[in-house]
Amino acid sequence: MGRELRGKTLGIIGTGKIGREVARRAKAFEMNLLLYDVVRDEEFAKEVGGRYVGLEELLRNSDFVSIHVPLTESTRCLIGQREISMMKPGAVLVNTSRGAVVDEKALAEALKAGRIGGACLDVFEKEPPVGSPILECPNTVLTPHIGASTAEAQREAALIIAEKIRRIVEGRS
């Protein structure tokens, strides 16, 4: 059995370009939005009907947590054992940003113990994730950093590349 998104709370960690697009789509599903970022954009929060909160509040109150931050020293293992322990028992963690933002060992332990509901990962601490404990976990969806590889996305990428080549050939970089 699946779960309906309508009425559920989505916590978005990182409200840059991708996090914002996720928020807009979640709004269409009538989800409640909790936002976390080191730089808050209250106008954006108002646009999507969300609100900025601290990381702990986001983790404690979200049914789904979606991560969209770059890998920096301050985001490495941003989500570790302590943070995962704050999540709701049925919560699902989604990481499509960078693998090292989440402590895979802590996530694997939580999944195996049933402390959270699931994980969807498109990135891993080491790629490919040979020997990763996450590979043997229940309630996971794992993709090899190709979650966005659709026919439409590939066409769009090809058009962008073609346009860049045309500009260079024409001398308009």
Active site residues: 98, 127, 145
DSSP states of 29-71: TT-EEEEE-SS--HHHHHHHTEEE--HHHHHHH-SEEEE----
- For residue 125, give the nearest of 79, 62, 59 by alpha carbon: 79
With H, G, I as helix, E, B as strand and everything else as coil, classify residue 98: coil
**Which of 160, 158, 142, 140 is CA-nearest to residue 150?**
158
Phi, psi of 62 (to 5 degrees): -100, 140
The answer to whether the peptide bond before residue 128 is cis (omega within 30 degrees of 0) is: yes
Instruction: Tell me if 51 sits within 8 A of 70, measured CB to CB.
Output: no
